[in-house]
Amino acid sequence: MAKTEVIPQYDIDFYSDAVIRDPLPHYAALRDLGPVAWLPAQNAYVLTRYDQVVEALRKPDVFRSGEGLSLNTDVNALLKGSTLNSDGERHRQTRSITATPINPKGLVELTPYIESAAERLADVLAERGSFDVVADFAQVLPLTIVTELVGLPDGGRENMLKWASATFNLFEGFNQRSQDAFDDMRELQAFLRAEGRPERLKEGGLARRIFEEAPAKGFSQAEAAQLMRDYINPSLDTTISALGFAAYHFARDPAQWDLLRDDPSLIPNAIEEVVRLSTPIRAFSRFVAEDYEMSGVTIPQGSRVIVVYASANRDERVFENPDEFDVTRNVRKHVGFGHGVHMCMGLHLARLEMRSVLAAMVKRVARWELDGESTLAMNNTIRAFERLPVRIIG
C-alpha cells in the first residue's frame, strides 16, 4: 500500500518471538521515532505514543473495529459480528446485551460470592506456601467465576482458555501461531452452532440471557449464538494476565506489597498500576475508513493501524518514570482496559476479582518471592506468563 508521506520506518516483525519476549525496547524505539511510524513487515502504520493512541480510540468512525481487528481479512470474516469486532449501532446493541449484567450495578449481588471464593483460594495458597502463579492463583478465580456466570455446557467450560488464546493469536493473522489458532476457532464455531440454543445453557446464566434479550433488539438465534463469544473469548485473559503480573511485581518490589499491607485501601489503585505496567492486551489493529491526518502524517483510507496500548502506557510524555512500579501513582489516564466506546467490556468484573483476591492475600502474605524460572506465554496479542513459580511467606 502506498504511503502519502515519508514517515519513520521500523524494520521488525511486531509479532515475532523475539519482540513478544522482550517488547519494551521496541516500544521505546518506536516512540522515539515519531508519533506515527510504518511497519513494513505488517504492512501497517503503528501508533505507540499515548496522545496518538487515545486520538485513534476516540474516533471509532475513522479507525474502525467493524472491519475486524486482525491484519488478515480471512480472520476478520471469521470474527466480525462480535462486540469487539463491530461499530456504531451494531456495537451499541451487542454491548447492551452482553455488557449490562457485568456492569457495577449488575455485579452487586455477585460481590459476596466472589469475595468468599477469593478467601477460600487465599487459604489454600497460604497453606501450600509454594505454587505456580498462573495455574494455581491467576486462573482459578476468573475461570471459576466466569464459567459459573456464563453457564456453558461442559464442552464450552473446558475449552474457554484454549479458545480465548486462539482468538488473540488470530489478531496477527499470518504467522504460525495464527495458523494454528484457525483450527481452534473452527472448533469454537462448531460449538456455537451446536450448543447455541437456550435449552442447552444453564438457566440464569449469562449465555442464556443473550437469547432472552437478543430477539427484541433484532438479532436472530444464530446471531445470538455468535454473541456468546463475548463471554468465551475476552472475559478471562485480562484478569489472568494482570494477576500473574501482580504477583511478579510484588515479588520483585516487596516495598510495594508492604504499602498494601499497611493500607489496603491502596488495592484498587495498585490494580490499575499493574494493568498499566503489564497491559494484558498489548495492541489491536484498526481499519482506516477515510484519509486521516495525524500529527502531520496522512494515514490513507483502506490502510491498517496497529494501536499499541502497551507502549502508550509507558509513554514518558504522560507517565513520570513509566517503567517503575508504584502503587501510589495517579493512573487515571492508563489505557490498559482500552479507551472510548470499545473500552473493555469486562473491566468491572476484572477489577472486582482482582480486588477480592489481593484483599484476601494481603491479610495472609507478608512476602512474595520468585521461586524458579518463569516462562512467558507466546501469544500474538496477550502479554502474560505461562508459568511463574513463587513462594509466599506469612
pLDDT of residue 63: 98
Q: Which domain covers residue 263, as residue numbers?
A: 17-88+111-148+236-371
CB contact at 8 A, 54 and 335: yes
pLDDT of residue 3: 45
For residue 188, being part of any structural domain is answered with: no
Write out pLDDT tens, residues 31-67.
999 999 999 999 999 999 999 999 999 999 999 999 9
State how far the Cα of 309 lies from the Cα of 307, in Å rounded to an integer: 6
For residue 169, being part of any structural domain is answered with: no
pLDDT of residue 256: 98
String of DSSP letters for 238-304: HHHHHHHHHHHHHHH-HHHHHHHHH-GGGHHHHHHHHHHHH-SB--EEEEE-S-EEETTEEE-TT-E
- Residues 317-321: contacts with CB under 8 Å, at least 24 apart: 317/49, 317/50, 317/51, 318/50, 318/51, 319/276
124: DSSP letter: H
CB contact at 8 A, 71 and 291: no
Identify which of 121, 168, 124 has the alpha carbon closest to the alpha carbon of residue 145. Answer: 121
For residue 216, being part of any structural domain is answered with: no
Q: Which grid cell sits at 392?
A: 509466599
Look-up of cell digits 453457564: 151
State how far the Cα of 286 lies from the Cα of 299, in Å rounded to an integer: 12
For residue 318, being part of any structural domain is answered with: yes
Number of domains making up the chain: 1
C-alpha distances out from residue 169 to 94, 138, 184, Å? 23, 20, 11
State how far the Cα of 101 lies from the Cα of 311, in Å rounded to an integer: 31
| Cβ-Cβ contacts under 8 Å for 5 (sequence gap 6 or more) | 296, 297, 298
For residue 281, being part of any structural domain is answered with: yes
C-alpha distances out from residue 329 to 51, 320, 380, Å? 19, 9, 29
Indicate the pTM of the whole model.
0.95
pLDDT of residue 235: 65
Neighbouring C-alpha atoms within 13 Å toward the C-beta of 63? 27
Identify which of 298, 287, 272 has the alpha carbon closest to the alpha carbon of residue 75. Answer: 287
CB contact at 8 A, 114 and 141: yes
pLDDT of residue 155: 79
Write out the H or E segment, with its range, that includes residue 47: strand 44-47
State how far the Cα of 107 lies from the Cα of 353, in Å rounded to an integer: 11
pLDDT of residue 384: 97
| Cβ-Cβ contacts under 8 Å for 140 (sequence gap 6 or more) | 121
CB contact at 8 A, 305 and 288: yes
pLDDT of residue 101: 86
For residue 105, being part of any structural domain is answered with: no
pLDDT of residue 234: 64
Domain harbouring 81, CATH code: 1.10.630.10
State how far the Cα of 350 lies from the Cα of 201, in Å rounded to an integer: 23
- Tens place of pLDDT for every residue, the chain, 394 residues? 444 467 999 999 999 999 999 999 999 999 999 999 999 999 999 999 999 999 999 999 999 999 999 999 999 988 777 888 899 999 999 999 988 888 899 899 889 999 999 999 999 999 999 999 999 999 999 988 888 888 888 778 888 899 989 999 999 999 999 999 999 988 988 888 888 889 989 888 888 999 999 998 888 888 888 888 888 766 688 899 999 999 999 999 999 999 999 999 999 999 999 999 999 999 999 999 999 999 999 999 999 999 999 999 999 999 999 999 999 999 999 999 999 999 998 899 999 999 999 999 999 999 999 999 999 999 999 999 999 999 999 9
Identify which of 225, 220, 147, 224 has the alpha carbon closest to the alpha carbon of residue 189. Answer: 225
State how far the Cα of 82 lies from the Cα of 23, in Å rounded to an integer: 29
Q: Residue 307 in 3-state DSSP?
A: strand
Neighbouring C-alpha atoms within 13 Å toward the C-beta of 347? 16
CB contact at 8 A, 75 and 68: yes
pLDDT of residue 5: 64
State how far the Cα of 5 lies from the Cα of 291, in Å rounded to an integer: 12
Identify which of 280, 181, 281, 160 has the alpha carbon closest to the alpha carbon of residue 232. Answer: 160
State how far the Cα of 270 lies from the Cα of 266, in Å rounded to an integer: 6
For residue 283, being part of any structural domain is answered with: yes
| Cβ-Cβ contacts under 8 Å for 269 (sequence gap 6 or more) | 327, 328, 329, 331
For residue 252, being part of any structural domain is answered with: yes
